[in-house]
Structures are given as structure tokens and as C-alpha cells.
Amino acid sequence: MKHREAWLRSVALFNLAFLYFPILVLLVFSFNASRLAATWQGFSWHWYGQLIENGALHAATGNSLLVAVVSTALAMVLGIPAAMGLERLARRSQHILGGMLLLPLVIPEVMMGVSLLLLFVMAGMPLGLTTVILGHTVFNLPVVIVIVRARLRKLDSCLGEAAADLGASPWQILRQVTFPLLRPAILGAVLMAFTVSLDDFIVTFFVAGPGATTLPLKVYSMIKSGVSPEINALSALMVLLSMSLVGVSLLLQRR
């Protein structure tokens, strides 16, 4: 019995080490003074300095944030009502329509990128930030629906009827009962969609036009130009950003 416990624990720890090893490596070596990445040559903030002076990076970051904000907002406006509508359907309609709306979660991203590219080209729409925003909304929509719907399901279905019975008009029910109860899910969905959008590469890769470079695209082109400690520094920053977003999300859920 004890053997098994010890064995399980070592496998678990190995997994954890495996998951964190690359991230820690990046963090550590972003401070490496040497350009020859893998040997440690002293601590330095040099590469972070380079980052700050990189104008193209600033533009890319700005684009990423803009795209994330707008596509998340769009996904919320479309997704919250969709989640509410889905819950009102009968079982079978729920499965069918739900499957359709949640399809992007299953489709390989390459396909989504490719199909959107075709759509825009055929529609004669020039590729740019707008197409990126539209594309991001497509995969953010299911994210919002899943999170909001999960919360909706846990709520007593009588609550809406109870509110109506007590004199609340449909609009009042939304404001006084539905949205307050959905607030944790809404916050969670916003954070999730925001993160997913910031993180996206493939779909963006296909539908971004010149001048619509997002941060992941910029990082990709930097990587293709060769390994550089600057990328390490940038990566480290992005990791820290993600972690803080997760931290904030957890704190909010704790309340």
C-alpha cells in the first residue's frame, strides 16, 4: 500500500514538474545576460529593456487588447441571451441547437481559420483588425454560452416564476433576479473569453491583414526569425500576465 502511495505521488509530482519546467526555464533565462541563450552568463534586465523600446510590439499589444475587448463584448451580447434561450428549449432541441452553437469548440482551429478566410475573400472584405475581431467572436461565443449556461442550470427554475408571481415584469425579472444571480458566470465568461482571445494564434493567422498584427502573431514572426532572449523576456511577461488574470478570476469567484 505504501509503495503505491509513494509511486502515485512521484508520478503526480513528475507531471507537475513537467508542466512547469518550460515556464520556469523561460522566466529564468529571460534574465540571462548572454545572447547565447542556454548558458547562464549573469543577471540582466537588458532584454526587458529591448522590449520596452520595441515599437512594433507596442502596436501589436494594443491590437491584441482591442481585439480582445471588442470580441469579448460581442460574444457576451450574443452569448448571454443565447444561453438563456437554450435553457428554455425542450431537451432534444437543446441538444441539437446547442451542438450547433458550440461547434467551434470541436472544430480544429485550422478549419475555422481557413473557412473564415474564404468567407472574407469571397465577400470581398479586406483583411484587417475587423476580420480578426469577427473571427475571435466566433470562437468566443461558445465559451460564453458554456459558462453562462452552466450557471443557469444550477439555478432553481422556479425563481423566474416566483419573481413574476410577486409582480415583477419580464424586464424587472432580468434586472432583479437573473443578472444578479448570473454575475459570477458573467465575470468568469468575460475573463475566459478575454484570455482566449489574447491567446489565439491560428484563426488570427489566417484572417489578419497587414497592420492587424496581434501579439501572438508578432511573437510568432520573432520566433521564426530565430531564438532570441528578447522572446524569452516577452514570453515571461505574457506568462505573468496570464497568471495574474487567473489570480483575479479566482479571487472574484471566491466572493
Partner 1 sequence: MADPILELVSLVKRHGGVLAVDHVSFGINRGEFFSIVGPSGAGKTSVLRMIAGFESPDEGEIRIEGRSIRGIPPHRRPVNLIFQSYALFPHLTVAENVAFGPKMQGMATGDIQSRVRDVLDMVKLTRKETRLPAQLSGGEQQRVAIARALINQPAVLLLDEPLSALDQQLRQEMQGELKAIQKRVGISFVCVTHHQKEALALSDRLAVMHQGRVLQIGTPEEIYGNPDCRFIAQFVGNSNELRGMLIANEGGSGLFRSHDLEDGQSIRVHVSGDVESHKPVAFVVRPERLHLSETIERSAFENSLQGRVEKVLYLGSELQYTIQLSRSVQWTVQVSCLSGRQKVWPVGTTLFVQWQAQDGLVLPL
Partner 2 sequence: MNQLSRSAESLGDMGNPVSSHRMTYWLLTPGVLWSAVFLFIPLMVVGVISFATRGTYGGVIWQFSLENYRDVWHVVYARIFGQSLVLASLTTIICLVLGFPLAYYIVRLSPRWQAVWLILIMIPFWTNFLVRTYAWMFILRTEGLLNTLLLGLGVITTPLDLLYTDKAVLIGLVYGYLPFMVLPLYATLERLDPAFVEAAQDLYANQWSVFRRVVVPLTKPGIIAGCLLVFIPSLGAFLTPDLLGGARNMMVGNLIQHEYLVARDWPLGSAISLILLIIVIAAVVAYFFVEPIRSRQELEP
Window 88 to 127, contacts with partner 2 (CB under 8 A): 88-91, 97, 100-101, 103-104, 106-112, 114-119, 122
Shortest reach from residue 70's CB to partner 2, in Å: 14
Cβ neighbours for 83, distance < 8 A, ≥ 6 positions apart:
144, 145, 148, 149, 152
CB 214 within 8 A of CB 60: yes
* C-beta of 66 vs 87, nearer to partner 2: 87
Binds partner 1 (CB under 8 A): choice among 6, 111, 159, 250: 159
The reply on whether position 156 binds partner 1 by CB under 8 A is yes
For the CA atoms of the chain, what is the radius of gyration? 23
AA identity, residue 152: L
| 51 is a site residue for partner 2 (CB under 8 A) | no
Of 218, 65, 55, 78, whose CA–CA distance to 141 is shortest? 78
Q: Can you give the length of the chain in residues?
A: 255
| CB burial readout 189-203, b (16+ within 10 A) else e | bbbbbbbbbbebebb
User: Taking CB within 5 to 8 Å according to partner kind, which of partner 1, partner 2, none is near residue 167?
Assistant: partner 1
Q: How far is the CB of 94 from partner 2 (least distance, A)?
A: 8
Q: Is 8 in the site for partner 2 (CB under 8 A)?
A: yes
Among 42, 55, 167, 226, binds partner 1 (CB under 8 A): 167
Cell of 81: 441571451
Cell of 33: 545576460
* Nearest distance in Å: CB 112, partner 1: 37
Segment contacting partner 1 by CB under 8 A, of 35-43, 165-173, 206-214, 238-246: 165-173
133: partner contacted, choices partner 2, partner 1, none (Cβ within 5-8 A by kind): none
133: CB partners within 8 A, 6+ apart: 66, 67, 70, 71, 74
Q: Distance (Å, rounded) from C-alpha 186 to C-alpha 168?
A: 22
The count of residues interacting with partner 1 (CB under 8 A) is: 17
Chain residues in the site for partner 1 (CB under 8 A): 156, 158-159, 161-169, 172, 176-177, 180-181
